[in-house]
Structure formats: C-alpha cells, structure tokens
Amino acid sequence: MARPSSSIETAFRERFTRDRVLLGMVHLPPLPGSPGYRGEPIDSLISRARSDAEALLDGGMDGYVIENFGDAPFFKERVPPHVLTLMTRIALSLPREAVGGDKPLIGVNVLRNDACGALAVAMAAGLDFIRVNVHCGAMATDQGIIEGRAAETLRDRTALAAPVSILTDVLVKHAAPLGSGADDPAIVARDLAERGRADGLIVTGRATGEPLDLARLLAVRKAVPGLPLLAGSGVTARSVGKILEFADGAIVGTSLKEAGDGRAPVDPKRVRDLVRAARRRFGGFG
C-alpha cells in the first residue's frame, strides 16, 4: 500500500529524480575518548575533515556523509554525548557550497547505530539526512545484536520538527540478519519503505569497500521503485557506470582515498576519475 509523502520526503526524492547523485565519505579519524585517539587537537581533526570535504566537492561530488569511522570498536547504539557534540562542531565547520549546481547534500552516520544521536547532529548542524544502518528488524553484528528503532527515530524527528531525511541500509554490511525470511532483500526493502517509512535505501557489499551484489540491488529496485536507491560500498571509477544503471546514486568512500585505504585522506584525482566515469555514462549530476 502506498503511503502519503511528507514535504521532507518529496524534496529529498526530487533531487534523485533529476539526476544520479554521488556522495563521498568524510571518514573522521579517532575522536577523543575512542581507543585510537592519540591526542590530536580538535582544530586538527576539523582541518582534516574539511580537506576531505573540499576535495569531494571540488572534484564534482554532489555531497558527502560525515561518519565517526575511526572510533572502532563502536558502541552498539547510543554513543557518549561528547561524540555527538564533536561531530556537530565538525559538521558546522565543513563547506556547504558546491563548485556549481545545487547545494550539496550533506548527511551524517553515527556508528554503529545511534539514529537518534545522528538526528540530533543533523538538526543542530543543518544537515539534509542521516544514515541508519539498522532501522528495522534485527542484525547480528560485531557489536552484538542490534535491533532497529524506527518507531523511536521517526517520533524523535516529529517531536524535533527536524527537516532531515532518513536513509537506511538494506541488510547492512558487517552484519547478518536474524529471523525467518530476514535475508530476502525485497521483503526487507518493502518493510523499510512501508513500515519503517524510510526516505531512501542503501545496498552494500558484505564489508567496507567490498563490491555489492548487482542482483540484490536490482531486487531492491524492483521491490521499491519509488524510493531513492543508493549503492553504498565497493563503488569505483570502473564500476560506477554499471551500478548507476540500477541505482539513483552512490555513496563512495574507500575507492576515493589515497591508495584505496579507507583511513587515508581523500585523493582528488580519484574523485575526478569517478565523477568523469559517471558523467560519461549519465551526463551531469546533482
């Protein structure tokens, strides 16, 4: 059954119906309090994140996603308040202007699954969307069993009157689904769209940087044709054209880093190569 669309959903979807959308990852280094933190000053953390964001936008990407990638091992759900505060401060310090065209789409993912924390960061920093790894159902992960909190997240968004869209993973990477039929991507996608009221869906491979299964991507596309659909891992300059035949966009991280190392800075040449490859197939973006 189709459900009515809010103004938030409508504006978000319109961006994806005009053109394919390419989003890069701003992988934050270890933040204070995490095991990998080595005393780097906050201003230095901000500078590194700003450099990555600028490289992505200057290279022609349509936006970026901020993520506390360096904070492993991750909390299963709620992160300490200082993490949200730091991520908000960083988000407010990053560029908001594209080289040309539309205003960049900017989102945040608070690992491993702090959806309400991400919503707070997005609202405070004026971001466009959040990414939620487990929005509905339950997944066995390296953090233990994570259960979706769609009811809580959607009600928080309503209570805060936050104009923030929700992108959710379909059978997220680094995880295994729990429950009968829980590994069927079409069923999961329909539940996320119809029962979880997601504004967009993401399909990934099994782990960070791993190619996704095009059959899974196509199954999700057929199951929920009306929602924005993004590829979320393993996208490269070589594969982006084929992937965008089925997806409305892509979130690209590892392949845009120096030497393809997810922890390294963004490589401007790799960004330009990816955007050029996509444009050869589909023209302009964003």
What are the Cα distances from residue 279, in Å, to 59, 64, 285? 12, 18, 8
For CA atoms 210, 32, 139, 163, give the dihedral sign.
negative
- Give me the domain span that covers residue 176: 19-282
Residue 65 lies in a domain: yes
pLDDT, tens digit (0-9, with 9 covering 90-100), for 170-205: 999 899 989 766 789 999 999 999 999 999 999 998
The verdict on residue 4 lying in a domain is: no
Work out the angle between the directed axes of helices 81-92 and 115-125 (0-180°, nearest 10): 30
Q: For residue 10, tell me if it sits in a domain.
A: no
Tell me the pTM. Answer: 0.93
> Is 151 part of any domain?
yes
| Digit-coded pLDDT (tens) for 226-284 | 899 999 999 999 999 999 999 999 999 999 999 999 899 999 999 999 999 998 877 65
> What pLDDT does 208 receive?
84
Spatial contact of 26 and 53, defined as CB atoms under 8 Å apart: yes
Instruction: Tell me if 189 is assigned to some domain.
Output: yes
Span 100-113, average pLDDT = 90
Q: Quick check: is 169 in a domain? A: yes
Does some domain include residue 11?
no
- The crossing angle, in degrees rounded to 10, of helices 150-160 and 115-125 is 20
The yes-or-no verdict on residue 211 having pLDDT over 90 is no
| 45: CATH | 3.20.20.70
C-alpha angle 206/211/213, rounded to 5°?
Answer: 75
CA distance 138 to 147: 4
Asked if residue 188 is part of any domain, the answer here is yes
Tell me phi and psi for residue 14, to 5 degrees.
-60, -35
| Number of domains composing the chain | 1
